[in-house]
Amino acid sequence: GLGGRLDSTNVIIPLVSIITNIGLEHQQFLGESLPEIAGEKAGIIKPGVPVVIGESHPETRLVFVETAKKQSAPLAFAEENFEAILLKKTTTHSFYQILKNGKEFLPELKLNHLGDYQQKNLCTVLQSLEFLAEEFPEVAHTRQIEKGLANLKKLSTFIGRWEYISEVPRVLCDSAHNEHGLRQAMAGLSKLSFRRLHFVMGVVADKSLSSILPLLPHSATYYFAKANIPRGLDAGVLKNEALKYGLQGKAYSSVRRAMAAAKRSATPDDLVFVGGSIFTVAEVL
C-alpha cells in the first residue's frame, strides 16, 4: 500500500491514473523529500494513460509534468479546472457548489460524506470523469454524477474515513495516518462541539511520531493501543513518546480494550475519536 511505483497495484494498466496529494510518509521506501516522494508516486503514470493530480505543490509539480511528458500521458491538475465550495452539511451529507473553469457547473452537489478533505477530492473525481468520458461518455452526465455521489457509501462500501459509528456515546473514526491527513482531520475535529474528547490511538512502528504528535490536541484523554499487526507500535512506547508532547493517557493491551475504556468514560456530551492508523480504525468497524 505504498501508493506509487512499488505499490502492488502498479501491475494494472488503468483507464486513468490518479495522484491525490503528496505528503511525507514511508520515507524509507519513497524518499526523504517531497520531490523524491513525488518521483516514486509518479511511477504509476503509464504510457498514453491520462493522469490527474489532485493537489499541486511547487516542489512536486515539475516532477509530474516531466514524467507525464516522457510517457506521452495527458496530464491535468484538478484544482486548476474545478472548485468545490461547501454550502452546508447535514448528519449524513455535505452539499457543494461546483465551479468548472470559473463558471457554475453544479449548483448543489450532494455528497454522502462529511469529511472536509473531500472538498479537494471532489475536484479530483470530476477531473477524472472528464478523461473517462472520452471512452465512456455516459459517466460525465450530471445526473449520473449526482446520483453516484449522493449514494457514495452504499455504492462503494466506503468506510473508515470521517465516519460516525456510534451515537451514544458519539464515536467518530478517521484513518488519516500521516502529517498531511492528520492535519486535516484535526482541523475538522476542532470544528465539532463536545464536552470532552477521548482519543483512541494506535500507529505503525515506522511512523514519524515527531511529525504527527505535535498536531494532536492536549486537552484530549488518550487511550493508546497497538493494532493487531506485526508492524503495530507498542502501546507503552507510544504512550511515552506522546507524553513528551504533553499528551496524557494510558496504554492498553489491544484496540478493543482501549475502545471499551474510552466508551465507559465518555458521557453523552463527549466525543470518542479513533485514529492514527488504518489498522487501528479497522479493528473498531
Among 73, 94, 126, which residue terminates a domain? 73
Q: Which residues contact 72 (CB under 8 A, 6 or more apart)?
A: 47, 48
Q: Are residues 207 and 278 in the same domain?
A: yes
What are the grid coordinates assigned to 102, written together? Answer: 470559473
pLDDT band at 2 (very low <50, low <70, confident <90, very high): low
Res 66: pLDDT: 94
Q: Are residues 177 and 210 in the same domain?
A: yes
- Is residue 129 predicted with pLDDT exceeding 60? yes
Residue 141: inside a domain, yes or no?
Answer: yes
Res 29: pLDDT: 45
Res 3: pLDDT: 60
Q: Are residues 201 and 268 in the same domain?
A: yes
- Note the pLDDT tens digit of each residue in 22-55: 754 544 444 467 778 888 889 899 999 999 999 8
pLDDT band at 254 (very low <50, low <70, confident <90, very high): very high
Q: Is the Cβ–Cβ distance between 63 and 42 less than 8 Å?
A: yes
Residue 257: inside a domain, yes or no?
Answer: yes
Q: Are residues 210 and 235 in the same domain?
A: yes
Decide the pairing of beta strands 82-89 and 75-77. Answer: unpaired
Q: Are residues 177 and 256 in the same domain?
A: yes
Lowest pLDDT segment from 52-56, 85-89, 213-217, 218-222? 52-56
- Is residue 147 predicted with pLDDT exceeding 50? yes
Residue of 125, 133, 235, 215 whose CA lies nearest to 174:
215
Residue 120: inside a domain, yes or no?
Answer: yes
Please state the domain count of the chain. Answer: 3
Q: Are residues 116 and 35 in the same domain?
A: no
Q: Are residues 148 and 179 in the same domain?
A: no
Res 224: pLDDT: 98
- Is residue 268 predicted with pLDDT exceeding 80? yes
Lowest pLDDT segment from 85-89, 154-158, 242-246, 258-262? 154-158
Residue 211: inside a domain, yes or no?
Answer: yes
- Is residue 72 predicted with pLDDT exceeding 90? yes
pLDDT band at 56 (very low <50, low <70, confident <90, very high): confident
Cell 493487531 belongs to 228
Q: Are residues 67 and 84 in the same domain?
A: no
Residue 101: inside a domain, yes or no?
Answer: yes
DSSP annotation string for 162-196: SEEEEETTEEEE----SHHHHHHHHHHHTTS--S-
Among 156, 172, 200, which residue terminates a domain? 156
CATH number of residue 244's parent domain = 3.90.190.20
Residue 47: inside a domain, yes or no?
Answer: yes
Residue 1: inside a domain, yes or no?
Answer: no
Res 40: pLDDT: 85
Res 5: pLDDT: 72
Residue 3: inside a domain, yes or no?
Answer: no
Residue 195, Cβ density class (10 Å: 0-12 exposed, 13-18 middle, ≥19 buried): exposed
Res 28: pLDDT: 45
Q: Are residues 167 and 259 in the same domain?
A: yes
**pTM recorded for the entire structure:** 0.82
Provide the residue range defining the domain that includes 271: 163-282
CA atoms of 127 and 14, how far apart (whole Å): 15
Q: Are residues 91 and 15 in the same domain?
A: no
Q: Is the Cβ–Cβ distance between 265 and 236 less than 8 Å?
A: no
Q: Are residues 91 and 12 in the same domain?
A: no
Q: Are residues 67 and 88 in the same domain?
A: no
Residue scoring higher pLDDT (225 or 34): 225
- Is residue 58 predicted with pLDDT exceeding 90? no
- Is residue 121 predicted with pLDDT exceeding 60? yes
Q: How confident is the prediction for the chain on average, in pLDDT?
A: 91
Among 41, 73, 105, which residue terminates a domain? 73
- Note the pLDDT tens digit of each residue in 76-111: 999 999 999 999 999 899 999 999 999 999 999 999
